[in-house]
Amino acid sequence: MKLPAKMGFAGTRTRFDELQAVHAMAGEIVHENVSSRVVTLGVLPTINQGAFLPYHRLVMHVHEQMLRKECGYKGAQR
């Protein structure tokens, strides 16, 4: 994943950097700050709780596909 960045995100140099940038952009939606909500509201948040695992599975799938298509990777991520 050391190929040069293609997407034009600020601060990215490699394709892996781009994956990290996309992950960071979705962070506020996917990784809600549960502890501050619990303290403030006294209840567990319900918005986006179901997004965490599916989102990360998608990120891993995209990463594996990029490795296969762009780097010639033949294995599987586990």
CA distance 57 to 62: 9
Show the beta-strand stretches assigned E in 1-78: none
Would you state the pLDDT for residue 44? 53
Percent helix, strand and coil across the chain, each to the nearest 5: 60, 5, 35
CA 70/CA 20 separation, integer angstroms: 17
pLDDT at 51: 75
Note the pLDDT tens digit of each residue in 19-73: 999 888 887 777 765 544 444 555 555 555 667 788 888 889 999 999 999 999 9
